[in-house]
A and B are shown apart, each in its own frame.
Chain A
Amino acid sequence: MDENGAERDEYDDLNPLYVIWEEPDGSHGGSMRFLPTTGRTMVNEHFGDLMSGPITSPLIWECTRFCLTRGAGSHVAAALMLGGGEVMQNFGVEHFVGVFDARMVRIYRMIGASPEVLGSTGSGREQISVGLWHFDDRDAALVAERAGVSQHLSRQWFDRAFGTTNVVDFARSA
């Protein structure tokens, strides 16, 4: 934690990808972090014993630090998941492997995006788990509905962040 209340860990030095929900007033509503498992990841370095690791593939990304600002509705959690789905579909990612605490289990269930738990440590509120997410068209439709964001709009947001594939015509512009 720095003086501005910003929290960082060693994995933030690896230039990870964040999906962020921005509130209408510009403040942070929630976020989650992605890193490919071909490099250093929190699951492989700290939670390997919970999942028979290491898991390594450019088609499997780690998803960690899922967080919601206090008071953020479950639609924010759903919208973040929808963003995760865009990442999967657009970057050819097959699976997410993630670390989450007991508090998140209920939230994931509420938005219809429960992970498959590979292993857990601790109990009650202190329980920490490693789980897998898989995301197909049906899951996308479900979280889009819970988020109140159409899939068309989420694709537009993705394109705005990563560039679109249908504006420039190379052949003509050349």
Chain B
Amino acid sequence: MVSVITAMQPLEHIMEELEQAEGLEALQAATEALCDHYGIDHVVYHWVDSVGGQYGCGTYSDVWRARYLELNYVRVDPVILGCFQRFHPVDWKRLDWSSKAAKSFQAEAIEYGVGNQGYSVPIRGPNGQFALFTVSHSCNDTWWADWTEAHRRDLILIAHYFNQKALEFEPDRKPEQSQALSPREVDSITLLAMGYSRAQVADTLSISEHTLRVYIESARFKLGAMNTTHAVARALSRGLIVV
């Protein structure tokens, strides 16, 4: 099973770099790498706190970012306002752009190269912490619908991994143990690492393959991994499983 550790896919590589991040520069680098990887115009991580303070990183132009801050667009932006009320990802088209302020904001955003399409994942951390992970692009509706459909589950995971990193950078944050795997998750990942197929793992644990998928899904998230192979590699490298 050495192959699972060495055969790293491009996306996993980006997430490994993110995992090692020790400052905002590394998060910035990850947004740029994700743009290149997916071939889309923008990737942005944006933290907004309850008193209107904000920071983040991403690939929007400096002039747009400066303008956004200067004109306090966080109070107008339908993406922010809409995501505050949701905990599920949203295509920008589903948001309310009907007000005059929203329409002119949108026209300006497009003018500054944000793109005519967007998809944002709201994330909520401890104590009401709120952030957004956004991808945006210039393309037609069909292309965008197909692209987001194909990648949204990855985007949801990536969004949470960005936020976990950003939370680690908080100055007064108590060091938190990474989430422990449950006994069933340890069993599942261990057997996969030993080269068992999913059917064999399910059979060995006397659970259905569907139930197994849930344990693997949960383990994958706790490990900050993009897929099962990546999860196995991380569990091994962290010494969480012994094969």
Contacts and interface: CB of A to CB of B under 8 A. Distances in A.
Interface of A: 15, 17, 36-39, 52-60, 87, 90-92, 94-95, 97, 116, 118, 132, 134, 162-171, 173-174
Given A59-B153, A59-B156, A165-B145, A174 B93 contact: no
A132 B212 CA distance: 11
A165 B97 CA distance: 12
Interface stretch (B17-25, B68-76, B165-173, B179-187): B179-187
B238 interface: no
B28 interface: no
Name the residue among B110, B208, B211 with the largest chain A CB count within 10 angstroms: B211
A58 B86 CA distance: 13
Contacts of A39: 87, 124
B222 A174 contact: no
9 contacts: A17-B87, A17-B88, A53-B182, A55-B182, A116-B210, A162-B90, A165-B93, A167-B93, A174-B106
Contacts of A57: 217-218, 220-221
Interface string B156-167: 110110000000
Given A55-B218, A116-B208, A174-B116, 4 more contacts: A39-B87, A54-B182, A59-B157, A170-B117
A94 B217 contact: yes
Contacts of A56: 179, 218, 221-222
A92 B208 contact: no
A6 to B, nearest CB: 21
B13 interface: no
A95 B92 CA distance: 25
Interface of B: 85, 87-97, 103, 106-107, 110-111, 116-117, 124, 140-141, 145, 152-153, 156-157, 159-160, 179, 182-185, 208, 210-211, 213-215, 217-218, 220-222
Q: Is the interface of B mostly helix, strand, loop or mixed?
A: helix
A-B CB proximity, top 8 nearest: A163-B94, A52-B184, A170-B116, A57-B221, A91-B88, A92-B152, A171-B116, A174-B107
Given A92-B89, A92-B156, A116-B208, A168 B214 contact: no
Contacts of A167: 93
Contacts of A163: 90, 93-96
A58 B221 contact: yes
Contact of A95 (B88, B97, B106, B217): B217
Contacts of B214: 55, 60, 95, 97, 132
